[in-house]
Amino acid sequence: FMPREPEASWENGIRSVRRDEMGRLCQLLDNVFFEGLSDMQPHAFNDDNMHNLRVVVENGEVVSHIGTIRRNISIMGCTLRVASLGGVATYEAHRGKGHATALLRDTMHHCLKDGVDYIMVSGYRNMYHRYGCRYVGRDWIYHIASERANDFDDTTWTITQASTADVETIGAIYRREPVRWLRPPSDIAFGIDGWVQNRPAKTYLIHRGDQPVAFGVIQQARERDARQVYLLDYAGERSAIVGALGKFIDNQHLNQLSLHVKRFDTVLRGLLEARSLSGEQANLPGTTMIIHFEQLLEKMRPYFVERVGEHAAQGLVFREVGDEYHIYYGGDRVVAESRGAAAQLIFGTLEETENAMLDAGGRAGEILRACLPIPGVWYGVNHL
């Protein structure tokens, strides 16, 4: 029995990468970004995720790529499906042929088929904007300078560097978060001592006595970072996180430690501001593209019931109408005139662009103002 020769159309064109092409895909990423990028993202560049690594092949060569990792997330008890999109790369000699645009459209199509509700894109390009990616979210960022380290170093807490033996402990702490990824153990494991958001990182457990109550994933300072790093992910008891920040600063002799705080996390914000730290407003990371408008909002309906009650929440109707996105209540409607406007409406913006849509929506706008924006997830180890 001879294996059938693949057809030429299967060889060339847009498709998922094949196992024997992974080396060539890694060469493309090294060429366009920097050497070793694929090694920093083991959650994306592995055999199990090959079907989500979409490539353009010309004459047997991998010349362009867009990758995603797909995960479920939980937002206030409602489960959505999200794709993290990145690794967008085309060899210079093959640019200007529309490969990246074709791959983006292809990826949107496959995400829709796979039940993805929205895509998080690491970065901003005009191409992304044209297809509906927007900066969204109304979160906060806080910076702690080294001079203030003592104010954030409480004797109640101790920190220890985590090992792979702690994956389940970290997972148990993380699962209590109201807005989170549903992470397989492998996602947690590679952030223990690896790369997170393309930065070297280590995970630390924060203990009260011998009880682990929180964790932090800390960027490891490199020469170029001027000793200014990020807390790339965290979960658990908020007072423990705040009381350990000074320990993280001392640990690496940092000049500054920064952390992203979600808008709804009034407990963490309150603890930071009680220590005379003021934050700046910040977007969610990267840009956001809505893929499945009706399905996304339908999945969030139980949360809307919590906000406005059964009657009002069940009265909302979600519809894609041509290129527009409508939400009806009775005879009133809120209209997002494009995919980009839909992202702004659902997740909110720093500029509060969504207000004009809500103001024009009568009773539908009033109800939605109580339901929206919904919070988004912070990348942490799920960055691509």
In a domain, 125, yes or no: no
Q: Choose one of 232, 254, 282: the last residue of a domain.
A: 282
DSSP string covering 84-106: EEEEEEE-GGGTTSSHHHHHHHH
Question: What is the Cα–Cα distance from 317 to 326, expressed in whole angstroms?
Answer: 8
Full domain range(s) for residue 33: 8-116
Mean predicted confidence (pLDDT) in 202-212: 98
Give strand ranges (E) for the chain. Answer: 13-16, 53-58, 61-75, 78-90, 118-121, 139-145, 157-161, 179-181, 193-196, 199-208, 211-219, 228-236, 256-261, 280-282, 287-290, 316-321, 324-329, 332-336
In a domain, 2, yes or no: no
Question: What is the Cα–Cα distance from 292 to 316, expressed in whole angstroms?
Answer: 17
Please tell me the predicted confidence (pLDDT) of residue 335.
99
The token pair at 333 is 């409607």
In a domain, 352, yes or no: yes
What are 82-95's pLDDT values in tens digits? 999 999 999 999 99
Residue 235 has pLDDT above 90, yes or no: yes
Say yes or no: 16 and 80 in one domain: yes
- Band of residue 342 on the pLDDT scale cut at 50, 70, 90: very high
Mean predicted confidence (pLDDT) in 182-188: 97
What are 255-311's pLDDT values in tens digits? 999 999 999 999 999 999 999 999 999 999 999 999 999 999 999 999 999 999 999
Predicted TM-score of the model (pTM)? 0.95
Please tell me the predicted confidence (pLDDT) of residue 10.
57
What are 328-340's pLDDT values in tens digits? 999 999 999 999 9
Q: Choose one of 262, 282, 302: the last residue of a domain.
A: 282
DSSP string covering 178-214: SEEE---HHHHHHTTEEEETTEEEEEEEEEETTEEEE
Say yes or no: 239 and 349 in one domain: no
In a domain, 326, yes or no: yes
Please tell me the predicted confidence (pLDDT) of residue 1.
52
In a domain, 128, yes or no: no
In a domain, 129, yes or no: no
Task: Evaluate whether 122 touches 384 at the Cβ level (below 8 Å).
Answer: yes
Residue 6 has pLDDT above 50, yes or no: no
In a domain, 247, yes or no: yes
Residue 9 has pLDDT above 80, yes or no: no
Considering the chain, what percentage of its residues have pLDDT values greater than 90? 97
Say yes or no: 12 and 91 in one domain: yes
Number of domains in the chain: 3
Please tell me the predicted confidence (pLDDT) of residue 12.
85
Say yes or no: 252 and 340 in one domain: no
Q: What is the CATH number of the domain that holds 71?
A: 3.40.630.30
Residue 7 has pLDDT above 80, yes or no: no
In a domain, 126, yes or no: no
Say yes or no: 153 and 264 in one domain: yes
Q: Choose one of 261, 282, 303: the last residue of a domain.
A: 282
